[in-house]
Chain A
């Protein structure tokens, strides 16, 4: 909570210290000086920094992030429109990261020192060595142009009509029972989600590998081996489970960082998410919209981290038991 207040203050401070008059930018170079002055007054731009922050917090608590000077709509409405697409992309990527990254890490650790390990390490290192937009372009070139199996851009084909309920297409199509549209949406999301997930997959695999290799040196692994427990079980229950505890926190951070990288992938695949809006408002110095966007993304980021902390405390019996005791 303290952190969230800090975040809002920080973003707000950044937004206010920059040069340039937002009112002037909003109205354009041809506006009269009076019109600018009126708008400045309306936006509280003439008040002190703390007063401005005060107005901002009061509005925020009412769920009001102000008007966007770019779209002329409430920032809240803009975000509500664009956020689900971004979240859908990030969540699917996150699932890919866990579903592919963890098994790769386990595989690598089990065969540590062998060619399997070296291959996995090399491939995952390549994965983290390029920004998401490079992977997005490469995958698009390979699987949309060269071998044409995936669509080039967008969330769903125009021929499919889906009624918006949650804004998450994968859920909306499911609610409507429209499996053709669901399939179409899945088909559209695979490539961008994978491009976004690649570096996360690499990070997760590398992290799990290094933590597991460390765990493999622990006495309880030797004990399990001395008692002849099957290697698979040792890998899963003795090496992986204890390694998951330190890994999970970092994987959560990586997952949350995807909220940022999503901007890059959305730009390549013309994904109608927060990215285009975010970049547009940043370029136009649309203060309310910038503050709102960053604040919402940071809130998502914090929520993800909270969930991860919760998961860690469920997996780690030490924390679980000490919580039950208190």
Chain B
């Protein structure tokens, strides 16, 4: 079998505080195969976003962070890499899309300046003309009709949906192996979010990019992901293929989460109890979808 693009094993994360260590991740394992789109679903504070940041190596810089376990990228354990070679992967082999596109773009430079900086990661010393050419074709991929105008604008002059497309174009410009999408477009309104996600979906399929899709929005996950991991308070509580997991949730927490999806016909949003005993039940896997079986 081929090496998975990303393989996380028994990852733990704690933050050292005045009164001991606060545990955030309690040993999670997940993997993404080449071209696979995997969702990591959970409430805010469950440990979704920190996972993505550990993969990029951004949390390791914090003095207070305590990390154990392994993160393998294309078969290489990232902890064994020198900081410089690890840093070299960012923006080139792996990239990221953020929650709020407009505030994720530098407000004092036009889009093109930042786009060029992204392209420079893979191609240092790229000329302005060449960078512009590549930026224009990348923007065309995300269905932007006036690429020149967009490149010369500032983020605050563009709509949120437009910025989100710019972000997607930037994220895929260097043709990364792994795309980390952290609640992409949650700050946008629902229709715009759906449109841009469709675009992103089509593009990653075309490029065979592996995606770690982090979200609390189950509707979006169902639409977008091949496989789902459900995370609750730093533990993966259920994993399985998207269809099966949604049709037949096995873990009490997943069931509660699914019933919390607002439905137009229902009686509003039911509350999730803070910590019912059932939520801490052991990991539930769907047949043939445990880590061991999938990686065998």
Which A residues are within 8 Å of any B CB, using their own CB?
A: 113, 218-220, 222-229, 233, 237-238, 241-242, 245, 315-318, 321
Contact = CB atoms under 8 A, between A and B. Distances in A.
B154 A317 contact: yes
27 contacts: A113-B63, A219-B99, A219-B100, A220-B103, A220-B104, A220-B105, A220-B106, A223-B98, A223-B104, A224-B117, A225-B58, A226-B91, A226-B95, A227-B118, A228-B87, A228-B88, A228-B90, A233-B117, A237-B106, A238-B106, A242-B107, A245-B108, A315-B108, A317-B108, A318-B154, A318-B156, A321-B154
- The interface centre, meaning the residue of B92, B103, B108, B117 with most chain A CB atoms within 10 A of its CB, is B108
B284 interface: no
Interface in B83-98: 87-92, 95-96, 98
B121 interface: yes
A223 B105 contact: yes
A245 B108 CA distance: 10
B58 A220 contact: no
Contacts, number: 71
Contacts of A316: 108
Contacts of A226: 56, 58, 90-91, 95-96, 98, 180
A237 B98 contact: no
B118 A242 contact: no
Given A219-B103, A317-B154, A229 B91 contact: yes
Contacts of B98: 219, 222-223, 226
A233 B104 CA distance: 16
Nearest to B89: A228
Interface pairs A-B: 6 shortest CB-CB: A228-B90, A227-B91, A228-B91, A226-B96, A219-B104, A223-B104
Contact of A237 (B105, B109, B118, B180): B109
Contacts of A225: 58, 90
B121 A227 contact: yes
Interface string B49-79: 0000000101000010000000000000000
A235 to B, nearest CB: 13
A222 B90 CA distance: 12
Contacts of B88: 228
A308 to B, nearest CB: 17
B114 to A, nearest CB: 8
Contacts of B180: 226
B108 A241 contact: yes
Contacts of A218: 103
Interface of B: 56, 58, 63, 87-92, 95-96, 98-100, 103-110, 117-118, 121, 154, 156-157, 170, 180
- The interface centre, meaning the residue of B63, B88, B103, B110 with most chain A CB atoms within 10 A of its CB, is B103
Given A238-B106, A317-B108, A223 B96 contact: yes
B108 to A, nearest CB: 5
Contacts of A219: 98-100, 103-104
Nearest to B180: A226
Contacts of B109: 237, 241
A162 B121 CA distance: 56
A226 B96 CA distance: 7
Contacts of B106: 220, 224, 237-238, 241-242
Contacts of B92: 228
Nearest to A231: B87
Contacts of A222: 58, 98, 104
Contacts of A224: 106, 117
A193 B101 CA distance: 46
Contact of A220 (B56, B90, B107): B107
B107 A229 contact: no
Nearest to B174: A227
Contacts of B58: 222, 225-226
Contacts of B56: 226
A222 B105 CA distance: 10
A210 to B, nearest CB: 18
A224 B103 CA distance: 12
Contacts of B99: 219
A245 B104 CA distance: 18
A227 B56 CA distance: 9
A36 B40 CA distance: 92
- The interface centre, meaning the residue of A227, A237, A238, A245 with most chain B CB atoms within 10 A of its CB, is A227
A241 B157 CA distance: 19
A220 B105 CA distance: 5
B125 to A, nearest CB: 14
